[in-house]
Structure formats: C-alpha cells, structure tokens
C-alpha cells in the first residue's frame, strides 16, 4: 500500500484555490460592470429630466415673432409634444441601440457631432496628463526623499498654489503673459502644438499639485518600512532604493488619484476649452446648454459620466497587478 501511495503522481493542491481566486475575480468584475451600467442609467435619467427644467428649446429655435401655430408644428416635428414618459422611454430605447438622437440645433445625429469634437478633447486631456506625470512624479519623489528641507518646502508651496488657484484664472494669466506680453504662444485656436501648450498647462496645474502631494506623502510612509531599511543595509543608494523598492509600493494610491484625474481632466476641460476657444466636447457642452439642445446635452453628460466609470473600473482592476495582497483578498 505504501508503494502504491508513493507511486501516485503528485497533485497540485493549489488548483482549487486558484480556481476559486479566478472565480472570485470574474464575479468581482461582473459585479463592477453591473454597477457601472446602473450608474450610467441613473446618470442618463437625471440628465434627461433636469435638462427639461431649463425651458422650452422651441423658443430659441424660432424667431421672436413666430406664431403659436409655428411653435406647435416645430414642437411636433421634434417630438416634444409627447408626454414626458413617452419621451423618456424613447430615449432609453435609443440608448440601447447607441442612438443618441438628432441635435435640435445642428440637425445632425448627436453621435456624429460628438465624434467630430471628441478628438480635440482627448488630445487636450492626453497632453495635460502627460504634463501632470512629467512634473508631478519627479516633484513628489524629490519632496519625499528630502522631507523637511528646502526642496520639499518649495514643492509643497507650489502644491498649495496649484490646488488653491482656479483653472480659469490660470488660463487667463497664461494668456496675459505668454500671448499678450511675450507674444510667444497663441491665445486661442486649434491644430498646432503651439495652440496646445497653454490649454494643456492650464488644465494640468491642479492635477500636478494633487499627484505630487499624494506621491510625496505615500513615499514618506513607504520609506519608513522594514524592507527599505534592509535595502539600505545592503548598500543601495537613496535613489536606487526609492526607484527599485519604494516607488512601486507607493504607487497604489497614486494610481487611484491619476485615474480620477483622467476623468477630472476631461470634465475640467469644459472651462479650459471655453477660455481658449478649444473646439472640444467641453465647448460643445456649453453651447448645447445655452441652446437648450436636449439630445446633445444628454449625450455630453453621459459621455463624461461614462469616462469616470470606465476609468475607475480600470483603476480598480489594476490594483491586482500592482499589489498582490489585493489580488489574494478578492
């Protein structure tokens, strides 16, 4: 019997555990996807009913001397003479087929209008994110390594200014300095790298402050851990210790904030695009609200909400790759 027992092939005792982990991970992803869909449904519903509290778009689309009959004809052609519930059900049915309706002002499908404006917003947000990472990560690392010194105080002073300064005021100040006084960069426009510099910097100022401050705080906590002391005892230099052993452990909260800042950059682009006349979704949203363009407002609000939901989902899933403890706890 003992020989038979010894001749049995070894089994992988951890297979049930791995299957359980995979099942739990898949269930967690499915739960988050359902939550995301529910959030988008709630956002679409709130946007649909709130936008109709702004007034009647027929009054804007027709001239002031239009007759009541002309208003009624236009209202019927736009489907605004139906009951609110009927309009809402038609709207949800269209969303199921990815049909956002036609713009009341432009007379074109909303999806086509968004497709035309979306590249400009993505370009601006990507440039602002690049500026954020290029400035905030080195600043946070230097401030964390030189805590309490002059460099740290300088970085924290810049962080305080960046978090307390309104973005639109930063944009106006940059226009005044670089476009009016120095005449080095254009104050508005789209299509060249020079047009992108001032809007990207304006949009990135707040994000730079948030990311740098959080990275500094997280890095200070990590540098006091035992494994960092062990790395220093092995003879690693300060920068090598931070880059090889400290930065990854300090990156988890930073990744969370960077993910949130991606959504904030897209949402915050509304004011920045307005200041610099940038032809993106933010500028389009302001125009749609002013014109009471119901389908266009609903689509832009849903776009910003979907951006936040998707980014948060991706950040949540990335935890498993950055921290094994998160992976095993799922």
Write out the two tokens for 162. 């960046």
Contact call for residues 257 and 168 (beta carbons, < 8 A): no
Helix axes 110-145, 281-290, angle to 10 degrees: 130
Listed residue (283, 280, 130) closest to 207, CA to CA: 130
| 67-118 confidence digits (pLDDT tens) | 888 888 888 888 888 889 999 999 999 999 989 999 988 889 999 999 999 9
Of the candidate ranges 36-40, 220-224, 246-250, 297-301, the one whose mean pLDDT is the lowest = 246-250
Higher pLDDT, 65 or 277: 277
Segments in 175-280 forming alpha helices (H): 193-222, 226-233, 238-241, 247-276
3-state secondary structure 98-157: CCCCECCCCCCEHHHHHHHHHHHHHHHHHHHHHHHHHHHHHHHHHHHHCCCCHHHHHHHH
Please give the share of the chain, as a percent, with pLDDT higher than 70. Answer: 81
Q: Tell me what pLDDT residue 255 has.
A: 78
Contact call for residues 268 and 308 (beta carbons, < 8 A): no
Listed residue (86, 84, 76, 217) closest to 140, CA to CA: 217
| 167-200 confidence digits (pLDDT tens) | 889 999 999 999 999 999 999 889 899 999 999 9
Write out the two tokens for 192. 């060249």
Q: Distance between CA atoms of 80 and 114, rounded to whole angstroms?
A: 23
Q: Distance between CA atoms of 63 and 70, rounded to whole angstroms?
A: 10
| 306-324 confidence digits (pLDDT tens) | 888 888 888 777 766 655 5
Listed residue (168, 162, 164) closest to 275, CA to CA: 168
Of the candidate ranges 128-137, 167-176, 262-271, the one whose mean pLDDT is the lowest = 262-271
Average pLDDT over residues 151-180: 91
Confidence of residue 5 (pLDDT cuts 50, 70, 90): very low
Q: How far is CA 144 from CA 32, 85, 155, 216, 228, in A?
A: 34, 56, 10, 4, 14
Q: Does the pLDDT at position 243 exceed 70?
A: no
Q: Does the pLDDT at position 126 exceed 70?
A: yes
Write out the two tokens for 67. 């007759």
């Amino acid at each position: 019997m003992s020989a038979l027992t010894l001749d049995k092939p070894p089994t992988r005792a951890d297979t049930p555990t791995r299957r359980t982990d995979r099942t739990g991970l898949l269930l967690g992803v499915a739960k988050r996807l359902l939550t995301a869909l529910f959030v988008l449904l709630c956002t679409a519903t709130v946007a649909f009913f709130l936008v109709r509290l702004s007034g009647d778009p027929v009054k804007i689309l027709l001239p002031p001397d239009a007759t009541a009959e002309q208003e009624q004809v236009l209202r019927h052609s736009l489907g605004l003479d139906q009951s609110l519930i009927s309009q809402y059900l038609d709207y949800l049915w269209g969303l199921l087929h990815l049909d956002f309706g036609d713009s009341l002002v432009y007379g074109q499908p909303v999806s086509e209008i968004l497709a035309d404006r979306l590249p400009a917003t993505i370009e601006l947000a990507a440039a602002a994110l690049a500026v954020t990472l290029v400035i905030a990560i080195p600043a946070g690392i230097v401030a964390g390594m030189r805590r309490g010194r002059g460099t740290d105080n300088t970085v924290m002073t810049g962080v305080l200014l960046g978090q307390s300064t309104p973005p639109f005021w930063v944009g106006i100040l940059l226009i005044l300095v670089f476009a009016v006084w120095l005449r080095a960069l254009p104050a508005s426009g789209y299509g060249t790298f020079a047009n992108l510099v001032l809007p990207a910097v304006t949009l990135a100022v707040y994000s730079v402050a948030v990311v740098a401050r959080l990275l500094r705080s997280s890095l200070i906590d990590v540098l006091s851990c035992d494994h960092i002391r062990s790395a220093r005892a092995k003879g690693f230099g300060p920068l090598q210790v931070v880059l090889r052993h400290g930065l990854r452990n300090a990156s988890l909260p930073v990744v969370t904030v960077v993910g949130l800042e991606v959504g904030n950059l897209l949402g915050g682009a509304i004011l920045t695009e307005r200041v610099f006349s940038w032809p993106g979704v933010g500028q389009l949203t302001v125009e749609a609200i002013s014109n009471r363009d119901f389908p266009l407002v609903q689509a832009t609000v849903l776009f910003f909400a979907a951006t936040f939901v998707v980014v948060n989902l991706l950040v949540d899933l990335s935890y498993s790759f950055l921290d094994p403890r998160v992976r095993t706890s799922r």
